[in-house]
Chains A and B, each alone.
Chain A
Amino acid sequence: MKYIMVWLLMLVAAGAKAQLAVRLLHFNPTGDQGILFEKRFTAEIMYMQDFANEGGSSRMRAGISYTPLKSRLDTFPSYAVQEGSGTLVLPGYEIYKKYDLISAFMGADWAVLDREPFYLFLGGDIMGGVVNMEYEANYETILDESFSGGLAMVGIRLRAGTQYMITDKVIVFGEVTRSYYYIEEYSFQSHYDYGIGIQYVFN
């Protein structure tokens, strides 16, 4: 999967002007992921067009992101209910030893405010990737299971941001994003993040 994403990124970058950007971001899991995993800093690298060079109010971007999440508790106390001659609540636990989000994304931004060198923009991406997970669950006498492997994920990301052209080649930007995605055999998950980035225009 990693090779596929690198290949995709190279393909996108090769066919366009070399405009690379790196974004440092603070990843905030929400929903079920927010219960299970800690917030953390991570980064993503992308090909991103520049509003000024594109001569319009929109631009494309594509990149990859890798976010290894850390479980908030070593063991999550959960339970199962056994119905038979009576109800029995059986204690159990769930352990997330590994939960890495690896995704590729592709999308576009639209400049809401274009006052070169300053821009405000809205945008969105389509994301696809894999969640590399190691998981263990045990419920007394009912279930003892573990899983290790990758689960496919697909989703969307919305974005609001601002950028400033320091020079013709160097641009700094800041963004807030909100992401929703479906993880195979798991559920819908979400997170938001905010971060700053730098873009370098080679041509």
Chain B
Amino acid sequence: MKNFIYVFWLLIASVSMISCRKVEKDPLSYYPKVKTVSAVILDDGSVQVTGEIESEGTEPIEYAGFCMDTIPEPPMAKNQMITSVNGSSFSAIYQDFDITKKYYFRSWAANEYGYAIGNTLSLDSITAIPVIPPCTMTPNTTNFGSGTETFNNVGLPVMSFDDWTISASTSGTTFTLTFGEKPKTRKYVTASNVNVSSPGFVKITFNSGFVYGSVDDGADFYVNEIGINQYEMTLCTSPYSYQTSTLSIRFNFDCPL
């Protein structure tokens, strides 16, 4: 009986020692340590934010990402983006900034025990590098087969199910521009089918009484976002087919007008 008690005791004691999990001296050691490394404005006016996991803590990282706001020290859930960690680095791209505001970016990471939030980086005057059309045109005019017309009404981009549409009119012609994304500063390419899965393309159709059709695929179309919901749009030249002829179209307008 005595021997049994000793063996039983030693067995339980051994198992309990093996199952011991080390208690960290610093309670913060259980949590990740994270740093917001950079926030860089890209050519198209989006911002690439990069973070670094300085320490995973005592357990692997389960989630990592960023938050962003126009107030300093943005809370973790504000405009949150969750990303995957590559090595110790992770990054995300934010878009659609108001050029007049200052934006704050913070990284964060979470493991089994909890989360840690990184330092804040800020950027202001976030805008894309303007795209310069290789032509000069009289503002708000179109040269459309039969002569020059002046735009008198250009609407703001209107979002529908899977595209954004702008309507622009002269006294005799209405143009409809369809984008796969909210227009922003960049060079687009004309295409006959455009939706959210083709953000770099624009479909341009027109209706001028007896003449209607669409701009041929493959022409460059220049958009510059000059303010909040304010754009300059230019098509230097593009062919379009009408009956058996191939004609040329070009236009330039401010949006809205």
Interface residues of A, Cβ cutoff 8 Å to B? 28-31, 34-35, 57, 72-73, 76-79, 81, 87-91, 110, 112, 122, 124, 140, 158, 160, 178, 180, 190
Contact = CB atoms under 8 A, between A and B. Distances in A.
Interface of B: 2, 5-6, 9, 12-13, 16-17, 20-21, 23-24, 27-28, 30-31, 63, 65, 75-77, 80, 82, 108, 110, 113-117
B24 to A, nearest CB: 8
A79 to B, nearest CB: 5
Contacts of B77: 88-91, 140
Contact of A72 (B12, B20, B27, B63): B27
Contact of A180 (B6, B16, B117): B16
B6 A122 contact: yes
Contact of B113 (A28, A35, A81, A158): A35
B69 to A, nearest CB: 14
A77 B27 contact: no
Interface of B, helix, strand, loop or mixed by DSSP:
mixed
A178 B16 contact: yes
A78 B115 contact: yes
A50 B77 CA distance: 62
B115 A91 contact: yes
B5 A30 contact: no
A35 B100 CA distance: 46
Contacts of A34: 21, 23
10 contacts: A30-B23, A35-B30, A35-B113, A77-B116, A79-B114, A89-B108, A89-B110, A90-B77, A140-B77, A158-B13
Contact of A160 (B13, B21, B80): B13
Nearest to A76: B114
Nearest to A32: B21
A29 B23 contact: yes
Contacts of B31: 77
A64 to B, nearest CB: 23
A140 B5 CA distance: 52
Contacts of A78: 113-115
B27 A35 contact: yes
A73 B80 contact: no
A91 B76 contact: yes
Given A72-B27, A180-B16, 18 more contacts: A29-B23, A30-B20, A35-B23, A35-B30, A35-B113, A77-B114, A78-B115, A79-B114, A88-B77, A89-B82, A89-B115, A91-B117, A110-B2, A124-B9, A140-B77, A158-B16, A178-B16, A190-B16
A79 B110 contact: yes
Nearest to B5: A110
A172 to B, nearest CB: 23
A31 B21 contact: yes
A123 B63 CA distance: 45
A81 B77 CA distance: 11
For A31, A72, A79, the residue with the greatest tally of chain B CB atoms inside 10 Å of its CB is A79
A34 B21 CA distance: 9
Contacts of B114: 76-79
